[in-house]
Amino acid sequence: MENKELLNQVQASARQWLNSNIDDVTKASIREMIENNEKELIESFYKMLEFGTGGLRGIMGAGTNRMNKYTVGMATQGLSNYLLKEFDHLDQISVVIAHDCRNNSPEFARTTADVFSANGIKAWLFDGLRPTPELSFAIRELNCQSGVVITASHNPKEYNGYKAYWEDGGQVINPHDINIVAEVKMIGSINDVKFDGDESLIEIIGEEMDEKFLKASIATSLNRDLIEKHSDLAMVYTPIHGTGVYLVPAALKKLGFRNIYNVPEQDVVSGDFPTVVSPNPEESAALNLAMKKAEAVGADLVMATDPDADRVGIAVRDMNGELVLLNGNQTNVLLTYYLLTQWSAKGLLKGNEFMAKTIVTTELVADIYRFYDVEYYDVLTGFKFIADKIRQNEGKRTFIGGGEESYGFMIGDFVRDKDAITACSMIAEVAVWAKEQGKSLFELLLDIYQEYAFYNESLLSVYRHGKEGAEEISGMMETFRSSPPANIDNSEVVEIRDYLEQKITDLGSGDTKPTDLPRSNVLQFLTKNGTKVSVRPSGTEPKIKFYFSVKSGLEKREDYERVHKKLTNRIESIKKELRLI
C-alpha cells in the first residue's frame, strides 16, 4: 500500500510538472520515465530537492528532486522574495553570480540571473567559469546584497549545486539561512517563478574583477624578496578540470614564480572530469597525474584544487626525497606557522589580531596561536562561521587567517570563504621560505612537530543507508551522549563537549559551562593525555564521521616514521575500543 501511495504521489507530481511552463526536452524526459523507468521516476519526483541552509545540491536531471533550471529557478525566486523584503529600503538590490566547470553550470547561472532580474534585482554575471573565492570577493567589491555560485564542490560529475551568499561575502547563516529556506518552501510551483529576465538589469563582468581579485590575493605575500631569490622553485599545479585553471597560475606568476608545470590533460575544463573518478583533492587518486608530472620534471611541490577552487591538496618530498601527500591539518599547520612567525618577525602583531579554526581541526594550530599570544576562535564546521567572526570584528580587529581539516584555508579578510587561489600562492611562498633555511616543506613540518608536539589525525566515515540507517546513526549519537566512554586511548576522559546541548562538562569537578556556539549535533571527548575524539553525523550524506587526534613528542626528525606508526596504531586501537571496526 505504501509503495502504491508513493507511486501515486510521484505520478501526480510528474503530471503537475508536465502541465507547467517547462520546455519540450524536459517534458519528453518526464514522459520517458513515466512510460519506461518507474524507478527513476520515483527517484526524480518522490520529494522536493531540499533547499537547506547551504543551498541546493543534487543529481542533475528532470524532476522535483533533481538539479535543473526549474529547481534552480524556484530557489532563486525564494531568495529574490527574501532579498526584496530584507532590503526594501534600497533603490536597487544587486547580486553577483558565478559558476564552476560542471555540466549545465553556465545554463543554471544564466537562469539565476534571469530570475533575479525578472524580480527587479540587478545581476552581475561572470562571463565564464570563476572560483568560489572570487565570487565572495566580488560581492563586497560591488557592494552587493547577495551572491550565488553554481557548484557542487568536489561531488561526482552527476551532481551540481547552488550556494547562496550574503552581503558580507560569507555564506548565509542564521537567521537569513532559515528565512530563505522558508521563502523557497513557499514557492509551490514552477509557474510561481519569474523566468523572463530583464536584460537591462544583467551586467556581464570578467577580467577587470579577476585583476582586482589577484591584486588583493598577492598583497597577502609576506616575503616577495625570497620569492624573487628562489623564483625557480619547481612546482606542479592541476585544477582537476576546474576553475583554478586560469587564476592559480596567474597568481603564482604575478608573485614571481617562473617554474610552474601544468598537467595538460587536467587543464581541460570539463564537467565530466575525464581523468579522475572523483575531482576531490582529499583523495590521493586525484593527484596521481600531477605527481607523475612532478617526478618527471623533478618538482618539489604539487598542488591540486577542487572544481570550484576553494580547497587545495598538496604533495611534498619527504626525508627520502619521495613525494608524499599532506592532509588538510598538516597544510593548515604549515600556513599557520608561517603566517605567525612572519607577522611576529616583521612586528605586525599589535595585540588586536585574531585567527580561527573549526572544532574538528588539529589542536596543533591552537598551540601555535597560543605561543604567539594571538586570540583565536573555535567555530563549528564550515567557513561561514569563520566569516561570521570576521563580520563581528569588522573594523575593530585584524583577521590573519584560519582553516579547517578538510583542505580549506583563508588568508586575510578580502575573501569570506575558503580560498585555494591565495592558499596556493602562500604554500609556494612557505616552500621558498623553508628553502632559504635549507629545508623542505616536509622537514619544516617535522621541525614544527619537534617544537610543539606531533599530532596525528584521522577521519573515519561510517555509512548507513535508508530509513533504518538514519535511525541507527541517531541511535549511535544517543548512545555516545547518554553513555559516554570513561576512558579512551588508555587515558581518562576529562572533558565532554556537547554542541547540541551547548555545554562543556569538566568530568573532574562536574562543572559545566556554555559552548558559546550555535546548536549542532556534535560530541567531543577529550582525555588526560591530549587525545580528542569528535563524533558528527553528516548533514548532507547518510554517514556519521569520527575524527581522531592523538599526540606525542618528537625529539628528532629521524624518529618521525617510528612515532608516526605508533600514533597511527593508537588511532586504530581507539577505533576498536569504540567498536567502530
Catalytic residues, by residue number, are 153
Q: What is the DSSP letter of 77?
A: H
> Rg (Cα) of the chain, in Å, rounded?
24
**How many Cβ atoms from other residues are within 10 Å of residue 8's Cβ?**
10
Distance from C-alpha of 268 to C-alpha of 262, rounded to nearest angstrom: 11
The answer to whether residues 335 and 401 touch, using CB atoms and an 8 Å cutoff, is yes
The answer to whether residues 434 and 444 touch, using CB atoms and an 8 Å cutoff, is yes
CA 151 to chain centre: 11
Q: What 3 state SS string does 324-363 have?
A: EEECHHHHHHHHHHHHHHHHHHCCCCCCCEEEEEECCCCC
β-pairing, 487-488 vs 409-411, is unpaired
The answer to whether residues 444 and 430 touch, using CB atoms and an 8 Å cutoff, is yes
Q: Which amino acid is at 557?
A: R
Distance from C-alpha of 226 to C-alpha of 217, rounded to nearest angstrom: 17
Strand, coil or helix: 432: helix
- The answer to whether the Cα torsion of 572, 578, 579, 580 is positive or negative is negative
β-pairing, 375-379 vs 353-358, is parallel
Q: Which three cell numbers stand for residue 119?
A: 524580480
Q: Which amino acid is at 424?
A: C
Distance from C-alpha of 202 to C-alpha of 117, rounded to nearest angstrom: 7
Burial class, 475, CB count within 10 angstroms (exposed 0-12 / middle 13-18 / buried 19+): exposed
The answer to whether residues 550 and 571 touch, using CB atoms and an 8 Å cutoff, is yes
Burial class, 510, CB count within 10 angstroms (exposed 0-12 / middle 13-18 / buried 19+): exposed
Distance from C-alpha of 180 to C-alpha of 52, rounded to nearest angstrom: 9
Distance from C-alpha of 315 to C-alpha of 338, rounded to nearest angstrom: 18
Q: How far is CA 449 from CA 21, 144, 372, 455, in A?
A: 61, 43, 16, 7
The answer to whether residues 99 and 72 touch, using CB atoms and an 8 Å cutoff, is no
